[in-house]
Amino acid sequence: MPQVTMMLTPGFQFLALGVQAAFELANVLQGERYYTLSITSAEGGAVLSSSGFAVPTTRLDEAGPIDTLLLLAGLVPPPQQDEEMLAMVRARAKEARRVAGLCTGAFLLGQMGLLDGRRATTHWSYAQEMRKAFPQVKVEDDRIFINEGPVWTSAGLTAGLDLAVALVEKDLGREVAGAVARRLVMHHRRAGGQSQHSELLALAPSSDRIQKALLHAKAHLTDPLTVEDLAGVAALSPRQFSRAFHAETGQTPAKAVEQIRLEAARLMLEDSRLSLDQIARNSGFVDLRRMREAFMRHYGQPPQTIRRLSRAA
């Protein structure tokens, strides 16, 4: 029976423990105990979570043979661990068939050097910090999870469930993984290539005028959406609008409109069966060629690849 071992660090986020449910449900659906589950830490004993609850653990180096090692950390990246602890975890990770860093747990993989030369993701708000800390890692902050050989990483906390279901699919097939997702009442299974966050949320304008212009853009994607159009919605001159927009969002209006169109197109790719030409028109791109160029600039992948990744799930 493959053993799935979770390793906790002090201050871990309690919600992350929920990924165990994917493996428990797989056992239920199989009608047998396919996976065994264990919760460990570097030193064993009770480990305090970020919310103040303590969870009993066994020592990682005393756990039996590990098939899948899941590393959990907190709402903020874990500090640099001492080398003795990292050496122990590194040894157990290399013995395992696969290892995953959930959310900020990816920083532990980085500290062990297991991400060097690999693609990895983490919560988008810590992606830049991860790039600085681990320059040998290709950090992709717009992915739900990434699988690089035996090493997996995921984005924010709920993305850990998507990763866990993907692990179940690797072991037991798509049908079982889909049944697990339904039991978990996951709205839909997200492929690893999906976007982590909303462009409107990322832009985060502070004034009602700029917010109103952005909401207008989202509701009228097939309109030209020139600076003059958006400035009129905001009741500002084009010059005033451009200045205010950049000051509040850090983007030009044209760049922000492209990002909103890209997000709309991506959602249509993932959730509809519209043709690529229809999606290009519905999201306000002049034609499929322009949409493809924008996808390559922003995501590094053409639209058809993102659709294929989504449908694979």
Q: Which residues are the active-site residues?
A: 103
User: Pairing mode, if any, of strands 151-154 and 145-148?
Assistant: antiparallel
Q: Name the burial class of residue 210, with classes exposed (0-12), middle (13-18) and buried (19+) by CB atoms within 10 angstroms of its CB.
A: buried
Helix axes 253-271, 227-234, angle to 10 degrees: 100
Tokens of 56: 């009993």
* In contact, 188 and 201? CB cutoff 8 Å: no
Exposed e or buried b per residue across 133-170, where buried means at least 16 C-beta atoms within 10 angstroms of its C-beta: ebeebebbbbbbbbbeeebbbbbbbbbbbbbbbbbbbe
Contact assessment for residue 262 and residue 194, using Cβ atoms and an 8 Å cutoff: no
